[in-house]
Amino acid sequence: MARYINREGKRGTSWLVQFDLGKKEDGSRNQIMRAFPTKKEAQAFYEETMSLYRKGIVVKAEKMSMAIYLREWIRTHVEPNTSAKTEEGYLSIINRHLIPRLGHIQLHDLTPAHIKSYMAEQLSTGLSARSVGNHFRLLRKALEDAVKTEVLYRNPAANLSPPRVVQKEMEIYTPDELDTLLANLEGTQLYAITYMAVHTAMRRGELLALCWDDIDFDGRVVRVMRGHTVVTKAIAERKKQKSTKTMRYRVVDLDSDVLQMLIEHRRKQDELRRTIAYQDTTGLVFTTFREGKMLCASELTRKLTETQKKAGLKHIRFHDFRHTMLSILIGSGVSYNTAAELAGHSRPSTTANMYGHVLPGQKREAVEKLADSIRSGRK
């Protein structure tokens, strides 16, 4: 039924494993042939495949390229089970990275060596270890699903690990730096959304999608019900059709300063609404001053960077305002449970892992407090 042989070729010596599976319906021979660079790899494949055969598991000889399989996996596994943002991200990784480099390989011919080589190549192009790790996890999941559906009998990524990610220190602002930034943003269309971000720890997408109906001024809370995600029209329409009526949301309390800012912001928006150019019909809280359109995420980033540079502040991302706010809260003694609720984390351990650092100066304060306690105990 099977054999493995040594063969010489133009590219050197390789080891060929050949399985004879009888004949196809048209009378032609039904074979699987796999080539390996070393005898050890060929032997391992041979023994594993023979073990499956003895257990009655059929080894399929049908050919399917990685490109065909990954596109089919998106249709059968990703589209029905993920959000629009996740599907868009998977498609980007598959179409821009995996298919151009692995798409020509037959699914049954993919080896751990192929995957390790892929990761090394991607790292050499300048992609971060975190990004390459995301590619690896997507590929491993796709291959795992192939095994579950019996399209593949072994996952070549199962025993591999993604590149090690070196954790960078989180970039945040001190309270004084926040005051400087807000002072420089006052009077611009970025002021209100940035003010809200640093006081509520809401994500950029949540703020861009926030509507006036989501804010309860009497109850002093905001219901975070949705996030803004940029995806293709086709994906957006399909996800909209499949969405359910059940909607989860979290409630964020608002302090008096934020409430006052929102009241003033709404008054200015009402004034703008009387102008001819202002065409807002969305009910969004944060819009452009002239047309009343949704703020563009990329434009928000660009103008924020310009303001930081002008104010002489270090550059941090808009998302880092969330890190800043939660870090300040935790540094001032707020519990991880409370911070997790504000952040929308399902587990306080997530918050502890992400924000378990202290603000500059607090380590020294902690050491001094420890020394004071020890000195008091000696008396």
Q: Is the pLDDT of residue 240 over 90?
A: no
Is residue 46 one of the residues assigned to a domain? yes
Cα–Cα distance list, 273 to 1, 140, 280, 340 (Å): 79, 51, 7, 37
Residues 13 and 72 in one domain: no
Point out the domain boundary residue: 130, 148, 166. 148
Q: Is the pLDDT of residue 358 over 70?
A: no
pLDDT tier for residue 101 given thresholds of 50, 70 and 90: very high
Residues 77 and 200 in one domain: no
Residues 70 and 49 in one domain: no
Cβ(326)–Cβ(355) below 8 Å? yes
Is residue 351 one of the residues assigned to a domain? yes
Is residue 168 one of the residues assigned to a domain? no
Predicted pLDDT at 263? 95
pLDDT tier for residue 379 given thresholds of 50, 70 and 90: low
Looking at per-residue confidence, does 376 or 318 come out higher? Answer: 318
pLDDT tier for residue 239 given thresholds of 50, 70 and 90: very low
Among 78-82, 231-235, 359-363, whose mean pLDDT is lowest?
231-235
What is the token pair recorded at 156?
A: 């070549």
Looking at per-residue confidence, does 124 or 233 come out higher? Answer: 124
- 3-state SS record for the chain: CEEEEEEEECCEEEEEEEEEEEECCCCCEEEEEEEECCHHHHHHHHHHHHHHHHCCCCCCCCCCEHHHHHHHHHHHHHCCCCCHHHHHHHHHHHHHHHHHHHCCCEHHHCCHHHHHHHHHHHHHCCCCHHHHHHHHHHHHHHHHHHHHCCCCCCCCCCCCCCCCCCCCCCCCCCHHHHHHHHHHHCCCCCHHHHHHHHHHCCCHHHHHCCEHHHEECCCCEEEECCCCCCCCHHHHHHHHHHCCCCCCCEEEECCHHHHHHHHHHHHHHHHHHCCCCCCCCCCECCECCCCCCECCHHHHHHHHHHHHHHCCCCCCCCCHHHHHHHHHHHHCCCCHHHHHHHHCCCCHHHHHHHHCCCCCCHHHHHHHHHHHHHHHHHC
Looking at per-residue confidence, does 356 or 299 come out higher? Answer: 299
Within a 13 Å sphere around the CA of 134, how many CA atoms are in the beta-carbon half? 12
Mean pLDDT in residue range 49-56: 63
* Angle (deg, nearest 10), helices 66-73 and 129-148: 80
Residues 131 and 191 in one domain: no
- What is the total count of domains within the chain? 3
Place of tokens 């795992």: 144
Within a 13 Å sphere around the CA of 314, how many CA atoms are in the beta-carbon half? 10
Mean pLDDT in residue range 202-221: 90
Is residue 223 one of the residues assigned to a domain? yes
Pairing of strands 2-9, 12-23: antiparallel
Instruction: Tell me the pLDDT tens digit for each residue of 53-62.
Output: 665 555 554 5
Q: Is the pLDDT of residue 360 over 90?
A: no
Q: Is the pLDDT of residue 260 over 80?
A: yes
Looking at per-residue confidence, does 253 or 31 come out higher? Answer: 253
Residues 96 and 47 in one domain: no
Instruction: Tell me the pLDDT tens digit for each residue of 70-83.
Output: 998 998 889 888 87
Considering the chain, what is the average pLDDT of its residues?
Answer: 79
Instruction: Tell me the pLDDT tens digit for each residue of 127-176.
Output: 999 999 999 999 999 999 988 887 787 899 999 999 998 877 778 898 89
Dihedral of the alpha carbons of 154, 158, 160, 165, in degrees to the nearest 10: 150
Residues 97 and 213 in one domain: no
Q: Is the pLDDT of residue 230 over 70?
A: no
Q: What is the CATH number of the domain that holds 222?
A: 1.10.443.10
Among 3-17, 93-107, 110-124, 320-334, whose mean pLDDT is lowest?
3-17
Residues 77 and 20 in one domain: no
Predicted pLDDT at 251? 87
Residues 141 and 183 in one domain: no
Number of residues written out for the chain: 379
The residue type found at 82 is T
What is the token pair recorded at 52?
A: 């499956």
Predicted pLDDT at 236? 46
Is residue 376 one of the residues assigned to a domain? no
- Most confidently modeled of 17-31, 107-121, 317-331? 107-121
Which residue range is the domain that position 45 belongs to?
2-54
Among 6-15, 24-33, 58-67, 170-179, whose mean pLDDT is lowest?
6-15
Residues 185 and 312 in one domain: yes
Predicted pLDDT at 12? 53
Mean pLDDT in residue range 210-239: 71
Instruction: Tell me the pLDDT tens digit for each residue of 302-316.
Output: 999 999 999 999 999
Residues 256 and 121 in one domain: no
Smallest CA-to-CA distance from 190 within 271, 321, 307 is with: 307
Residues 191 and 289 in one domain: yes
Is residue 214 one of the residues assigned to a domain? yes
